[in-house]
Structure 1
Amino acid sequence: MKLLRHFFTAIIIFSCTGTSFSQKIKPKKVKETMQRVADWQIEHFDGLYSDHKKPHHPLDWTNGALYVGMVKWAAMADNDSYFEWLKKIGEENAWQLYRRKYHADDHTVGQMYIELYRKYKDEKMIAPTKEQFNFLMYHPSQSILNWATPYHQDRWNWCDALFMSPPVWAKLYKITGEKKYLDFMLSEFKASTDFLFDKEESLYYRDERYFDKLDNGTKVFWSRGNGWVFAGLVNIMNELDPQSEAYAYFLDIYKKMAEKLIAIQTSEGHWAMSLLGQEFYPTPETSGSSFYVYGLAWGINNGILDKKTYEPAVKKGWNAMVSYVTKDGMLGYVQPIGAAPGKAWPDKTEVYGTGAFLSAGSEVYKLYGGE
């Protein structure tokens, strides 16, 4: 009876999307949808569409993840208004990172600052980030990666962190040419991967608390958590020489994850909130799924993934994500802030989901002929 109920739930979700998953993707339509989503999010920047009680701080990781995608959209847009919106946020916050010096979440906004520096060439946009990261290099955290040990989140002991902080280090390396940034990041990333990566499943545990936990008999691999990692790998590799040893290290993880991801994509096009538990989590979830679409499309665009093998997953995934965008431009089915598989609703969203969607669109647009 329980299995039958899950089956009918999945059928209802599929029938309500209104999208054919074989539908041809046109770059003009991709761009129009991205603009609609970006405009809706800016208009509702302080909106409360999830479980939080007040707007996120502009420098919070939630918004930092939005900016990562918004910068990609800004580079595609027909005018600089989106860049100007982002620049105003930086100016109003004196180009500072958020409160916690060591915590990866509070580094996320640095990705946006560096992209704005690349456009405007204004050193003040990145000066505070460089100063703080120099401090971290010369005063590295001595904490261990085990969960709930003293100051444990001063290092990257949860998989979300691999999206938040490492790309900032990689970007600093690229714009300064100073290898110290890359060396520090690579050392810490390897430590985190050795700790959190399940070699049998080619997926990351969210943190130590999930190593031995089962959910309906399956290992617990959180969709958005692995989405953070997969997108983070792409954002790191974008800054590295493809012939370098560092690039090869990240590429190896990326390829293993990509192969796993297309094997576990749902027939509806999204990925289950518990990646190995599709039967128990039939509800769509768009933040993790958008990151997978982003990463897979990037791999095809860069000649890393075989198009014949991987493009169907991108096509099905993107069409699914678009089907959960309202006429006004709100991306639905974004799981609220959490650390594990949970619930999502068509009328709930979050800024980081928008960021993931815009990242996905930026690569889907290229894949289907956009320039």
Structure 2
Amino acid sequence: MMIKPIVSLCLWLFCIAAHAQKDALQNFPDGYQPEQVGKKLAYRFVAGKHMLHAGKWISYPETFNWTGALKFAARSGDQQLIKLLEDKFDPLFNREKQLLPPMNHVDLNMFGTLPLEFFLTTQNKKYLELGLPYADSQWQVPENATAKEKEWASKGYSWQTRLWIDDMYMITILQTQAYRVTKEQKYLDRAAAEMVLYLDELQRPNGLFYHAPDVPFYWARGNGWMAAGVTELLRYLPENHQHRPRILQGYQLMMESLRKYQTAEGMWNQLIDEADAWAETSGSAMFTYAFITGVKNGWLDEKAYAPAARKAWIALVSYINDNGDVREVCVGTNKKNDKQYYYDRPRHVGDYHGQSPYLWCVLALME
């Protein structure tokens, strides 16, 4: 006589649980809604100063922040913001032309992603003409290339290959952007082959990545670049692409490990596997972006990862101050085989390394 009520109760609880999983990445409380956070961060960028590489050229952190703000403006239909971002860019065609980065380093080439995004937003060909050479030059070997750079190129890889995990955002995102504007398969093929190389050479059995082969530490933002890069590539890589199974496997292995190391607060530490390291926002935001996108595209189990992504987002927003600046951002960090070096890295407020991946999370949540 009690079977039907029990079955009904179980079905009700199941439906409640299923709804809770789907609801995890929406219906955020006031102040945590992605549209609110995105607007705050995007307009904060408009008012900000240039963050220059070596004091000379537009840096990759600024490039990614600018691109994120532009994507948010387009996604939210904010024409005023698009105009403000264009006005900020226009001097680079004339009086600030000297700030355009040269096409001679993996970090500097990243600038190309920004004009390509402006082209996607405005369809103005001046942006395409400026941006596409940055992608093409990653595979055009310069005359003064080193023997190692020529060796990488002879194997079909970018001459800018270094086997630093940072590269797997820097190379992947630019080639993917070039594919988005041209629809030429060669750009995706380049990015995918490069990603497989880095996965095969650098991914550890636990799914994470050392900062470099000779630096055996799981630095958060370094791993964040890889997490964001592989996520971005999977968004555009066709289901039948020869490298997709390997890339998806590497992505899922990394995500599984990251979920285990997520702190009780919802963040990840400066050194991911060190419980006494400080919570670092830029890497945490990159991992959160990878979680959100994976859940929404069906690459990750919704039941396991949607609550983790929500928890991370709620934690991340608490690190934004009243000015729209993200706190606890590790400064730009070269590799060093010294664990204490990573513990002692200065922490900045409003550093574009942190502002950018927050906008990626915003965009992923808005999809």
TM-score, normalised with respect to structure 1: 0.77
- Structure 2 match to 1:184: 190
Map 1:237-276 to 2 at 5 A.
Answer: 237-276=234-273
Structure 1 Cα separation of the partners of residues 199 and 78 of structure 2: 40
Distance 1:271 1:291 in 2: 10
Residue equivalent to 2:166: 160
Residue equivalent to 1:206: 211
Other-structure match for 1:77: 76
Deviation for aligned residue 1:26 = 4.2
Shift of 1:169: 0.9
Cα distance, 1:59–1:153 mapped onto 2, change above 3 Å: farther
Contact 2:141 2:159 in 1 (8 A): no
Which residue of structure 2 lines up, in the alignment, with residue 314 of structure 1? 309
Deviations 1:279-311 (Å, cap 9, x if unpaired)? Answer: x20x22110001111110011111221111101
Pairing 1:41–2:63 present: no
SS of 1:210's equivalent?
coil
C-alpha displacement of 1:99: 3.2
Confirm or deny: 8 A CA contact 1:158 1:207 kept in the other structure.
yes
Q: CA–CA distance in 2 between the matches of 1:230 and 1:143?
A: 30
**Distance of 1:322 and 1:345 partners within structure 2:** 21
Indicate whether 1:227 and 2:197 are aligned. Answer: no
Q: Does the Cα contact within 8 Å between 1:143 and 1:155 map onto a contact in 2? A: no
- Give the aligned length: 324
Give the Cα–Cα distance (whole angstroms) in 2 for the partners of residues 297 and 75 of structure 1: 20
Superposition deviation, residue 359 in structure 1? 0.7
Identity %: 23
Unaligned runs of at least 5 residues, structure 2 = 1-23, 150-157, 336-341
Distance verdict in 2 for CA 1:361–1:133, change over 3 Å: closer
Contact 1:171 1:239 in 2 (8 A): no
SS of 2:233's partner is helix
Q: What does residue range 1-371 of structure 1 map to in structure 2 within 5 Å?
A: 25-26=28-29, 29-46=33-50, 59-94=58-93, 98-139=100-141, 143-144=147-148, 154-198=160-204, 200-211=205-216, 220-278=217-275, 280-281=276-277, 283-339=278-334, 341-343=342-344, 348-366=349-367
Alpha carbons of structure 1 residues 68 and 295: separation in structure 2 relative to 1, 3 Å: farther
Greater relative contact order: 1 or 2 (C-alpha under 8 angstroms, separation 6 or more)? 1
Distance 1:143 1:334, change over 3 A: farther
1:176-216 per-residue CA deviation (whole Å, 9 max, x = no partner) reads 23233233333333333333221x121122223314xxxxx
Q: Which amino acid aligns with 1:44?
A: G
State the TM-score, normalizing by the size of structure 2: 0.78
Closer, same or farther: CA 347–115 of 1 in aligned 2, 3 Å: closer
Cα distance change, pair 56–241 in 1 and its aligned pair in 2 (3 A): farther
| Structure holding more helix per residue | 2
Deviation at 1:131, TM superposition (A): 3.1
SS of residue in 1 equivalent to 2:343: coil
Deviation digits for residues 250-288 of structure 1 (CA, Å, limit 9, x no counterpart): 32221111111111101111101111112x20x221100
Q: Distance in 1 between matches of 2:57 and 2:139?
A: 26
Residue 70 of structure 1: how far off its partner (Å): 1.8
Q: Distance in 2 between matches of 1:345 and 1:132?
A: 31
CA contact (8 A) 1:287 1:352 kept: yes
Give the deviation of 1:24 after TM superposition: 6.6
Distance 1:325 1:133, change over 3 A: closer
Q: Which has the larger displacement, 221-230 or 177-186?
A: 177-186
Higher gyration radius (CA):
2
> Contact between 2:109 and 2:134, CA under 8 Å: does it hold in 1?
no
